Amino acid sequence: MKKQVKFMIGPIYNYVRKANHRRVYQYRGYYEKLNVMDDTIFYESRDGKSLSDSPYAIFKYLVHHPEYKHFKHIWSISGSGELDKVVAPYKGLNNVTFVKRDSKEYLKCLATSKYLINNSTFQSFFIPKDEQVYINTWHGTPLKIMGFDIPGNPAQSQNVMRNFLSADYLFSPNQHTTNIFLESYKLKGVYHGEIIQEGYPRIDSTYHTDPDVFKSFLEGLALRINPNKQTILYAPTWKGTSISKAKNDIDQIIRDMSYLKQQVGEEYNVFIKVHPFLYNEARKLSEIKDLLIPEAVDTNELLSVVDILITDYSSIFFDFLVTNKPILFYIYDYQVYKEERGVYLSEDEWPGPALFTIQEVSAAVREISKISDEYKQVYQAAKDKFTAHDDGNVTPRIVQYIFNESKTPLNVIQPLETEKKKILIYPGGLRNNGITSSFINLTDNIDFNKYDVSIYMNTPSSNETLKNMEKVNKQARFLFRDDFAVNSLYEDYCDKFIHHSGAHTAITKKLYPENAYKREFQRAFGKTKFDYAIDFSGYSLNWAKYILAADADKKLCYMHNDLLSDSERTINGRKPHRTNLRGLFSVYNRFDKLVSVSTGTMELNRNNLSEFAEEFKFDYAMNSINPEKILKLGNEDIIEHFKSSEKDGILVPSENHLNFVTMGRLSPEKGQDNLIKAFAQFHQDFSNSRLYFIGEGPLRNNLEKLIAELQLKESVFLVGQLENPFPLMKKCDCFVLSSHYEGQPMVLLEAMTHGMKIIATDIVANRTVLENGKYGLLVENSIEGLKQGLTQLARNELNNKLDEFIPEEYNKKAMASFYQVLER
């Protein structure tokens, strides 16, 4: 009943009570119903908090140029107040409109304007239409580490990546920034648009702003400025991790600037320009009221009146290079910042001295002529490298290129590598399981000279997932999805209904909201196209529907197991996979290939699930392994990996005992209860034997009770999940797999790579991997069968009966089968 009530009222409740949901519903309506209007340009800068940066420079050029008088200009603004004086000169123009950010009018303009210009990102609900032209000007040459180079969770750049993939044009002022786009944001090979490396329109504003007029403008903002003094601007970047802790940074700024004013205030005007994340906190403080530059003021116009720039890791110094005026780098936290975030340039490349105390800054200001001479050569080198295109005429060149479509020779980079095939792949949740191991191995083995790989998944929230992401080949890129699809109310209801019921019948197939899923794909990937879209997890309709909606030539779904059996598997009285798998089965016919992980599992799935897809769609690709990594990890010290376990009374395997080990999720299909019962009988005859279970899962409590009931606490150990299980495995005499069903058990391949003796239940998947007993002993899938296998090992009856497994040869076959599935 609770589920039914939630189903009925959930979407309506979200619409009525949650403004962000309501905004998305409204935007979707405008997006679908309204046409794109030619000759309209929609601008947004700093989330609507200012008219500034390159969007403002382009706007000023277009609005005053007679050739472009037919254009209608629409600005997104987040409020009034400080913006009023910036907006005032344009309010009387017939072709200029200002809309409040997030209003209905804003949503309409975002959905209908022909040209969209932003210096950062539109919100996560934004979707580019095919007829729209999205121009992302970006906002600076990076000194601090950006994109996927930032340590920690890579999802922090997800909306930036989404906007980049949606953009038709991306502005870069220099090769350094272009490299950041291509490599640090991993746009090379996937970005469909053009990177215009022609300088920044915003720097034109520094060239063309009249300093005297602008000083008068600042006076009108109640800033204390003496036109007869030179001007110092302190512009630190945002360095925190939480906006709620912004006050700590502001306190430091107040102390430093109070000291600097005392020391040099007689000769200089001193102003502060803080990062937007700090501004709301800074504006509350009376101590800096007459020093703080309002957020609405355009930074590049401001630089026209600055004589000395003091900054830290902000990109502002690159723009300031065109003035030929001195720069001081005040980096009191440099060691910490370098370790936690990092910078791209070494200190000897900085066009000014690195200063670590405000006293050093004050002294440098007094010696500014001497410092300018000392850094003249480095300064010029920085200008040549970072501002070579910025001659004051960047805006006209770019406007001509985009709006006149006169493809005059500009420095344009098209990063799409047409010779590489593009793969989009959903790996599952990257939790500790066999599918994750298989996926990591695939990224280790795939030929990145031929394939470009994008990994599509939910924003990671657990350390377990983040650790596994760290193991994925760095040549692949992660792209993340939030759970906020841009649907209508009707589509939301259809989606929920399909999720719970599947698309089995004629009615449910009609209800299947395919257009909504395609729209969601476009929201995530813009105009990106792929050659292959793969649901590698193969357990979730929730993800399969988006893989099926991908703009891809071929769509594949993996089948890692006997999925009919898995759909009926019961854990603690529940069937956790039934709804998801039954729903997934109902869309199997929409995939081009259904890929099992062994020939045996393919036959099993084809026989069991033939009602859901044509026979020819069933195929197989063997899981690959990484022999070099497996063997290297096996040579690590077992004590290091066992320290925490010893506290729980788990003993390291010794040569005085006969040691068996198994590995896998503690789950019913693994048959671990049978193995414990078989071992209990075996242990009566071989009391020096021990059994180790590596892994975690929902059956831990049940298995612990069983171990206690059979009085095996001193001989059977639940080790838990190990970051590196191979040292423990190698210490044991035999690997045992007691599963009732599998797809293609990775643990067998890993044990075989280490040359271990193996006992496994005689099921289709185990038989396939062990090649009918060639690489291990197959026993009856029963307690008695497992006991007999353990006994045979104890009596040395397995010696010299098994062939040598050559992992490198296996891996070649596995990857060949993967490529064949893609191509045939």
In this structure, the number of other CB atoms found within 10 A of the CB of residue 758 comes to 26
pLDDT per residue as tens digits for the range 697-726: 999 999 999 999 999 999 999 999 999 999
Task: Report helix angle 807-823 to 746-753, nearest 10.
Answer: 150
Task: Give the residue from 302, 244, 230, 248 showing the smallest Cα distance to 272.
Answer: 302
Euclidean distance between CA atoms 491 and 507, whole angstroms: 15
Of 144, 145, 191, residue with least CA distance to 170: 191
Report the pLDDT averaged over residues 308-313: 96
Tell me how far apart the alpha carbons of residues 782 and 272 are, in angstroms, rounded to a whole number. 76
Q: What is the mean pLDDT of residues 635-646?
A: 64
Residue partners of 193: CB distance under 8 A and separation at least 6: 167, 168, 169, 170, 414, 527
pLDDT of residue 646: 47
Per DSSP bridges, beta strands 327-330 and 412-413 are unpaired
Residues contacting residue 19 through CB under 8 Å, at least 6 positions apart: none
pLDDT bin (cut points 50, 70, 90) of residue 644 is: very low
Q: Which two tokens stand for residue 520?
A: 């969601």
**pLDDT at position 735:** 98
Judge whether 476 and 455 are in contact, CB under 8 Å: yes
Answer whether residue 647 shows pLDDT above 50.
Answer: no
Token couple for 98: 């200002």
Which helix (H) or strand (E) segment holds residue 493: the answer is: helix 489-501
- Of 570, 603, 630, which Cα lies nearest the Cα of 752? 630
Query: Which pLDDT tens digit goes with each residue over 363-376?
Result: 999 999 999 999 99
Which amino acid is residue 86, in one-letter code? V
Burial environment of residue 687 by CB neighbours within 10 A (0 to 12, 13 to 18, 19 or more): exposed
Instruction: Tell me the pairing of strands 230-235 and 194-197.
Output: unpaired
Quick: pLDDT tens for 228-263.
Answer: 999 999 999 877 655 555 555 788 899 999 999 999
Side chain identity, residue 340? E
User: In which band, very low, low, confident or very high, does the pLDDT at 80 lie, cut at 50, 70 and 90?
Assistant: confident
Strands 593-596 and 113-118: unpaired
The string of DSSP codes covering 776-807 is SEEE-SSHHHHHHHHHHHHTT-STT-SPPP-H
- For residue 499, give the 3-state DSSP assignment: helix
Give mean pLDDT, residues 524-530: 94
Q: What is the pLDDT of residue 407?
A: 65
Provide the pLDDT for residue 152.
Answer: 87
Percent of the chain with pLDDT over 90: 82
Mean of per-residue pLDDT scores for the chain: 93
pLDDT, tens digit (0-9, with 9 covering 90-100), for 319-374 = 999 999 999 999 999 999 988 889 999 999 999 999 999 999 999 999 999 999 99
SS3 assignment, position 37? strand
Q: For 377-405, write each residue's pLDDT tens digit.
A: 999 999 999 999 999 999 999 999 999 87
Cα 428–Cα 429–Cα 435 angle in degrees, nearest 5 = 50
Adjacent-strand bridge partners of 556: 534, 593
* Pairwise CA distance, residues 561 & 253, whole Å: 59
Sign of the torsion formed by the C-alpha atoms of 124, 130, 131 and 135? positive
Spatial contact of 119 and 140, defined as CB atoms under 8 Å apart? no
